[in-house]
Structure formats: structure tokens, C-alpha cells
Structure 1
């Protein structure tokens, strides 16, 4: 539509000029002694316009000819940038496809031309990391900060992952500390930091980071529980005395000190002959959640007040009359106090609920201690058969 309007306007202008020329009687007198020429004004104007157009065309042509090398060079540079941008996009695609060698090559092409060189170097470093070519990855990472300071956090993240893959945990933790100083902590960095501190054996920091990730819903509860359980086991293994063990136990939140973790601490307390502290822990945990593993450990207690320990265990019987572990623990506690009759009744009740080798052996030992070897013999035989 716009072209139609322009064509109509051109026609109108031509008609206007033709009408003006038709009714124009003026003329132009040119005097160049000894010559003299009379030319109509319309012809003079036409010739003048034509001469201007010719002059403009010649000047324009000369200008275009002189600018041609620069225009060709600019065109080449634009083509190079377009190819570099295409190489960078292809590098991303190849990286996600798992074609790491090709991704690194295309990223190198983009970096050589200067198309987002820092980002291209970061891409090449990531591809080299997947190829386990640590030297090349470090070489590419060295170019990132030089080309673009804004990519420093990304460079530190990739560097930390490379160190973790190489099991250089201390170096990974140092890179993540630098990242924290620049941009703070985020979930991905916290996960890497957790791996780094696990590798370094910094178990208090592992526990703290695990709780932080659980708080941000960035770690499954089951996974977090496994990590904390391992960390506490290592701390318990590294203990120097029972005082240090109790100090570690006091730092555990009540919500965490249950189930397997509580049994790990209780077993360690029993190994260190801290039976009263173990009983306190077991009483506290069993009051919150009934756990057969903790009940089994209750039967191994040798506290300063064994009678109170037996009474406490018997108070659980009305609520858990069919718990074989509770009956077995009561039998063992009564055996320690040489309460033969009660011990026999509890162990036989446990055996009736679950025929277990450990219970038969304890019954056999009870009969031997009370000089009833004939009654012990069937239990030894049954225990031997179960062992096979």
C-alpha cells in the first residue's frame, strides 16, 4: 500500500512539472564572449538536474569503490562472529548430549574468535572435566577470570567439582570458601561443600551442613539420616574417653537422638562401661519411640541399681506383652542378679514368641549354672542346628 501511494505521488509530481513547463515562458541567457546562447528555463533546469545526478553517481561510485575493502573486512568479521556464536550454541548442545570432545572443540573455536570467551572457556572446562582431563580443565578455567570477572562464581563451582572428582577434598573446600566470600552459599554449593567435608573427615561440619540442607528441603530425610549416622559413628570412633562421648551426645538434638543413632551411642556407652548413662539414654528414647534394638541393649545394662533397672523393664510389659526382645532383656537382667526362676520364665516366654539361637544359649547357660545339665543339652543341640 505504501508503494502505491509513493507511485501515485510520483505521477502527480510529474504531471505538475509538465504543466508548469508548458505554461512557463522564461528563458536562460548564457553569454560567454564571443558566444551567446538562449536556452529555455525548463531545459536548463532539466540539464542542471541531470548533471547533478551524474555528478552524484560518479562521487558515490568512487566512495563505494574506496570503501569496498573495509566493507569486505566487516562482512568477514560478521561472518566469523556468526560462526562463533553458532559454535558456542553447538557446544552447549553437544555438552548436554554427552559428546564432550566435540563440545570442547566447538567451545575452543568460539573462544578463539572472541565470542563470549569467558563462557566458552567455562564450557570447555566442563567438557574436559567429564573427559577426566584435569590439566586441560584447569587450563581453560585459568582463562575464565581473565575474560569476564562475573564468571568467577561459576569458575569456582566447576573448579570445586573437578577437585572432588580428583578426591582433592581440601582444595575443593578452599574453592567453596572463596565462592562463599563472593556470592554466599546456595544449595548446589552446599551439596558440594558437604562432599568436600566428608572427604576431609570434618564430621561436625558435615552434620551442620546436613541439617542446613534438610532445613532447605534439599536433602531427602532418609539420606540426611544416613549421613548424620555415619558422621556420629566416626566421631564416636575418634573419641578419647567417655567424657568426650558424653559431650558429643549432649550436642545431639532430642529429635535426632532416636532409633539407630540412639543405639550407636548406647553401644558406645556400654563399651566404655558407662552403664548408668546408657540406661538414662535408653529410658529417654524408649519413652518417645519403642524400638526393639534399644530394648535388646537394655538387657546388657549392668547399672549401679539393677533392681530399679529390672523394675523399669517390667513396667513396659503391660504395653508390650508380646515383645520377644523385651522378655529376653528381662531374662538377661534377672540372670545378672541370679534370679533364676524369673530369668527362666522370661527366657522361655521369649523363646515361645521367637525361636532364636541366642535365647536358647542363654537358657542352656542358666540350666548349667543351676546344675541342670540335662535340661541344657536340648537347647545346645537346637542352637547348633540353627547355626548350621
Structure 2
């Protein structure tokens, strides 16, 4: 609609000018002695407009000609810029694809073109490290350090990752400390920190970091549990020879963590070996009250400590809820043997065998038979145990 309006306006103007020119008898006189020039005013107007248009086009043409070298240089610079940007993108893509040789070549090209040189140097360093070219990797890391204002955090993270991968955990700890001092405590750094702390045997830090990662949902419960379990067990091992310290440490563990089956099992063995069998039995009992586990029930019978009568009573209460658990029956037989309740021990051990034959139950019955001087029966159970072993 707008185009039609302008077209009509131009035609109207042309028609108006034609009418005005038709009734215009004026002329212009140019005198340059001895010459005189008479010219119609209409023609003078047309010539003036034409001359102006001609001069304008000539001026533009000259300006464009003079600007051509600069335009060519700018075009070439833009092309080089585009190529360097593409080289950096290709380097990132090749690195993710695992094509490390090509990633290094493209990163080198981007670095030489001064396109994000810090980032290009880090990409080249990662590619070199993946190809086990450690000297070249160190050189690229040195170049990246020259652009620390651009990539300091990325460089420190990269160096920490390389140090963990190469098992240089002291170097990794140094880089991660530098990140922490700069206020960078993101999840990737925390994950590297927990690996480094575990490798250096800093179990208090492992426990703190694992809990922190779990609270931030960076670790699932299944991922955090082995780290928390190992941290507690290693801390308990460090306290071997200090039974009171082991007791204090165990009691300050949060209850949800004390319910871990693997932690209870291994911690009970450590506590029992340190003369804290009563606490070990208590730990197993608490775990079994919360969630039944046949393996822990069997371990309960191998713990030395506590009042045997009370422990037998506790196991019999469990038996009412788990009447056909062969491991619990085995535990009751062992506890009764320790209490020298020969008849009850034999009943529980035979009940365990009736549910599921086991080498352990046959061995306990053999020992019971020896206590009662029933050597033939003892030999029979020893043979049965040997057959099950085979």
C-alpha cells in the first residue's frame, strides 16, 4: 500500500512539473564577453539536476575506490576470524568425540590465530594428556597460565583432574586448595576433592565431603554410602589400640549411617578384635532390630562379649519372628555352646541343618560331640563338613 502511494505521488509531481514548465517562458542569460548564452530556465533546471547527479555518482565512485583496500583487508580479517572460531569449535567437538590428534591440531590453529588462546591451550593440553604426551601437555598448561585472567579456574580444574588421573594427589590437593581459596566450591571440584582426600588417607575430609555432596544431590545415597562406610572404618582402624576412642567414635556416628549393613559388619569385627565385643553385639542388635539381615545374625554368634544369657534371650526373641532362618539357629547353637547349654545347643544346630545343610553347623555339632566324648558322632559331623567343603 505504501509503495502504491509513493508511485502515485511521483506521477502527480511529474504531471505538476510538466504543467508548470509548459507555462514557464523564463530564460537564463550567461555573459562571458564577448559571448552571450540564452537558455530556457526549464532546461537549466534539468541540466542542474543532471549535473548534480553526475557529480554525486562520481564522488561515490572515487570514495568506494579509495576505500576498497581497507574493505578487502577487513574482509580478509573477518574470514580469518571465522576460520579461527571454527577451528576452536572443531577442537572442542573432536575432544568430546575422542579424536585427540585432530582436537590438538585445531586447538593449535586457534591458539596461533589468537582466538580465545587460554581456552585453546587447555583444549590442546587435554588432548595431549589423553594421548599420554605429558611434555607437550605441560607446555600447553604453561601457555594457558599466561592467560589466567581468562581461564584461571578452568586451568586449575584441569591440572587437578590430570594430577588425580596420574595419582599425583599432593599436586591435586594444592590445586584444589587454590580453588577453595578463590571461593570456587562447585560440585566437580568437590568430587575431585573427595577422591584426593581418600587417596591421601584424610578420612575426616572424605566423610565431610561425601556428606556435602550427598546433601547437594551430587551423589546418590548409593554413591555416598561406600565412601561414608570406608571413612568410618578407616577412622576406626586408626583408633586400634585405643578402645575408649573407638567406643566414642562409634557412638558419635549418626544413627542413619550406623544402620549401614556393611559398616555394622566390619565395625563389629574391629570392635570385637579390640575387646569391645559388648558394643559390637549391641551394634549388631540395633541393626537387626531395624532391618533383618541373616549374615549379621550369624555374625552375632561369633562376637565375644556381653552377657551370654541376655544375648541368647535376644536371639530367641528374633527367632520368634524368623523361625526358619538357618543362620539365626546356628547363632543360637553357638551361643548355647559358649554357655554350655549342651542340649539347647544341639537342638538349635540340628534345626539349622534341617533348614539348610551348612559346614559351620556340622563343625559346631562335631565340637559339641567332642565335649560330650561322643567321638564317633564327632567324626561323622567332621566328614559331613568336609563333604560340604568339597
TM-score scaled to structure 1, two decimals?
A: 0.88
What does residue 361 of structure 1 align with? Answer: 363
Indicate the residue corresponding to 1:212 in structure 2.
212
CA distance in 1, matches of 2:62, 2:292: 98
Structure 1 residue runs of 5 or longer lacking an equivalent are none
Instruction: Please point out which of 265, 275, 283 is paired with 1:273.
Output: 275
Which residue number corresponds to residue 343 of structure 1? 345
1:267, distance to aligned residue in structure 2 (A): 0.5
What are the equivalent positions in structure 2 for 1:25-36 lying under 5 Å apart?
25-36=25-36
Q: Contact between 2:298 and 2:331, CA under 8 Å: does it hold in 1? A: yes
Partner of 2:251: 250
- 1:296 aligns with 298
| 1:9 CA drift (Å) | 4.8
Alignment partner of 2:256: what SS?
A: coil
Counterpart in 2 of 1:385?
387
Asked if structure 2 preserves the Cα contact closer than 8 Å seen for 1:203 and 1:232, the reply is: yes
CA contact under 8 A between 2:366 and 2:381: conserved in structure 1?
yes
For 1:156 and 1:9, the matched residues in 2 are separated by 70
8 Å Cα contact 2:281/2:306 also seen in 1: no
The 1:263/1:142 distance shift into structure 2, 3 A limit, reads same
Deviation for aligned residue 1:386: 1.8
CA change 1:179–1:6 in 2 (3 A) is farther
Q: Which residue of 1 aligns with 2:70?
A: 70
Matched residue SS, 1:66: helix
Contact (CA 8 Å) 1:194, 1:209: kept in 2 or not?
yes
2: CA distance, partners of 1:80 / 1:106: 14
Match of 1:376 in 2: 378
Equivalent in 310, 313, 320 of residue 311 of structure 1: 313
Counterparts of 1:74 and 1:315 in 2: how far apart (Å)? Answer: 89
CA distance in structure 1 between the aligned counterparts of 2:346 and 2:124, rounded to whole angstroms:
73
Cα-Cα RMSD: 2.7
CA distance in 2, matches of 1:274, 1:100: 56
Provide the C-alpha distance between the structure 2 equivalents of 1:47 and 1:320, rounded to a whole number of angstroms: 117
Distance 1:95 1:223 in 2: 28
Q: 1:352 to 1:221 in 2, by over 3 A?
A: same
> CA offsets, 1:42-66, max 9 Å, x none?
2333333333334334433333232
1:299 to partner: Cα distance: 1.6
Q: Conserved in 2, the CA contact under 8 Å of 1:301 and 1:333? A: no
What is the aligned partner in structure 2 of residue 89 from structure 1? Answer: 89
Deviates more, 1:109-118 or 1:198-207: 109-118
Moved more, 177-186 or 256-265: 177-186
- Work out the CA distance in 2 between the residues paired with 1:7 and 1:53: 21
Contact map agreement 2:29 2:37 (CA 8 A) in 1: yes
Name the SS of the counterpart of 1:37 in structure 2.
Answer: strand
1:192 matched to which residue of 2? 192
The answer to whether the 8 Å contact 1:324/1:350 transfers is: yes
Q: How does 1:39-50 map to 2 (within 5 A)?
A: 39-50=39-50
TM-score (norm 2): 0.88
Give the Cα separation in 2 of the matches to 1:261 and 1:31. Answer: 117
What's the offset of the Cα at 1:271? 1.0
Count residues in correspondence: 388
* Structure 1 position 142, deviation (Å): 4.3
Quick check: 1:210–1:228 contact (8 Å CA) kept in 2? yes
User: How many angstroms does 1:183 deviate by?
Assistant: 5.0
Distance apart, 1:7 and its partner CA = 5.5
Of 51-60 and 193-202, more deviation after overlay is shown by 51-60
SS in 2 for 1:311: helix
Within 1, Cα distance between the matches of 2:40 and 2:77?
54
Q: 1:116 to 1:8 in 2, by over 3 A?
A: farther
CA distance in 2, matches of 1:3, 1:111: 52
Alpha-carbon deviation of 1:261? 0.8
Which is further off, 86-95 or 357-366? 86-95
The match for 1:227 is 227
Structure 2 unaligned runs (5+)? none
Q: Secondary structure of 1:207's match?
A: helix
